[in-house]
Amino acid sequence: MDWKERIVLNPEVLAGKPVVRGTRLAVEFLLELMSEGWTNDEIPRNYPGLTCADLPAVLAYACEVLKSEKVYPVPAGEG
């Protein structure tokens, strides 16, 4: 899934948060719904601007962001 076709970042929409193209539905909002147990059928039914193909793009975007995240351990005794 190429998330770049479906997820956009526009500073004029939701302060630049990643959203599904053509909507104001933020990736983080949709991830939250998924984490709460909403199914891939329930989400588009409740948010008609979405398609079932948008949801894998949301997950692919989140995966890519997490892969690029850098984590630096704090040495013992600091922090």
pLDDT at residue number 47: 96
Give the structural domain span for 63.
Answer: 3-67
Q: For the beta carbon of residue 6, count every other beta carbon within 10 angstroms.
A: 22
Domain assignment of residue 74, yes or no: no
Rounded to the nearest 5°, which phi and psi values hold at 3?
-65, -25
pLDDT at residue number 1: 66
pLDDT at residue number 79: 57
Domain assignment of residue 49, yes or no: yes
Query: Which 3 state secondary structure label does DSSP give 3?
Result: helix
pLDDT at residue number 78: 66
Count of domains observed in the chain = 1
Burial level of 7, CB count in 10 A (0-12/13-18/19+)?
buried
pTM above 0.75, yes or no: yes
Over the stretch 21-79, which tens digit does the pLDDT of each residue have?
Answer: 999 999 999 999 999 999 999 999 999 999 988 999 999 999 999 999 888 888 887 65
